[in-house]
Amino acid sequence: MRGKNDEQQIPRDVSKLHLWQIQWVRDSFLILSLICGVWLGYAMRDITIPLLVALLLAYLFEPLVSFLEHNKKFPLGRIPIIVGLLTVITTFVLVVLVLTVPMVISQTSSLVGDVSSGKIRSQLEQATEKYAPVDMKDEIQQTIAFLPSGKEGDGAIITDASVSEGDNDLIKIARQTGDVAWNVLGSIIRFGILAVLIPFYFFFFSLWFPDVVSFAKSVIPDDGRVEIESLLTKMDAAVAGFVRGRIVIAAIMGGVLAVGWMIVGVPYAILLGIGIGVLCAVPFLGLVGIPLSVGLLFLEQLGLSEESRMAWWGIIFWPTLVFAFVQALDGWVLTPLIAGKATNLDPVTIFVAVLAGGSVLGAYGMLLAVPVAACIKITIQEIVLPNIRAWAQGEAKDPLPFEDT
């Protein structure tokens, strides 16, 4: 009587196999399904982006929800906890918007006005003329020539033709104003839809999160369960370190930078702080905030009289001191407290992943980039590279981490 091993060695007739019984067909179908799924998600990004944001938030707050649910001091069910958390988050977001949106709008209008009036260009030309090296002045002047000078139309002679052209200009301005108003209205409507959809999706994602995790664990095969769970745990730690760590840290850093730069007199401090805070999600990328803050403060000081100007060392020192304080706050307090000692994602991996995802699929790709990069990196480190090393040392016949079927 033949044993089980003997039966497995009997070659099967390929002509009698179903397509799903052929390994390379299953693998190709799986890869094609993943590609089509990503493409479909990108094509439906108006729907999928709110879903991804809500799923990200549910994943972000799951430890807190789970802790409160199993804490004897809070004898509440999961639903009241989620509703209470949504209420707190919504209230916090509304308060932040009420406090920051007017300042952001004001600084944005001021920046647009300074650019369109030629103030920014005039300040840059003045700085170039006084401080730029002689051999670089022409190149710098050509670089800033694209900025508006604010001098178009000065001293024009009024004629019938110019009046007619003025009427046409008024019509164009009216049309442009209407288009802008329509775009603003559309943006407000889209924001309102997102403001409703994201909490709605978040509620159900957070409510079903434990069931999804339990289902995922139940479908892991017993053969290799320990290795697979260990791999998934490392992936979760890497993604959580970025999502629950760097994003929260970047938001705090952006707020502190905005307040600090506003105190030392950096113009457009709120806009700059928010922008640099976003960049701080990628470690060390926020360093660009130092030359930007120093440069903006320097240009602002050029418009003042010499008696009122800040000392040259203060222009460099105070914005840099604010950034150094925020970096120290990140390294000594925020990262150890929020993200832990390691996220398993180095700055290069995060930077390349975000750029690649954004260039290929825009905001949708940026949302997927870091989790996908983390999973790919850990898979390579834990599975692919060890098998390649074993193959290189003659301990395995095949460098790929798959067994022959």
- CA dihedral of 221, 225, 227, 232, whole degrees rounded to 10: 80
Residues 285-332 pLDDT 10s: 788 899 999 988 888 887 777 777 788 888 899 999 999 999 898 878
Predicted TM-score (pTM) above 0.85: no
pLDDT of residue 352: 79
CA distance 294 to 308: 17
Residues 219-229 pLDDT 10s: 787 877 888 88
pLDDT of residue 318: 93
Residues 341-392 pLDDT 10s: 555 666 677 777 777 877 877 766 776 777 788 788 888 888 888 888 888 8
Of 60, 76, 79, which is closest to residue 68 (Cα–Cα)? Answer: 76
- Helices (H), strands (E): how many in the chain? 14, 0
More confident of the two residues 174 and 378:
378
Tokens 């003042």, located at residue: 304
pLDDT of residue 178: 60
In 132-268, alpha helices (H): 137-143, 160-218, 225-240, 247-264
Residues 128-157 pLDDT 10s: 877 777 777 778 777 777 777 766 544 444
Residues 206-216 pLDDT 10s: 999 888 888 88
Residues 259-295 pLDDT 10s: 999 999 898 898 899 889 888 877 677 888 999 999 8
Which residues lie below 8 Å from residue 392, measured CB to CB, with a gap of 6+? Answer: 399
The average pLDDT across 241-246 equals: 73
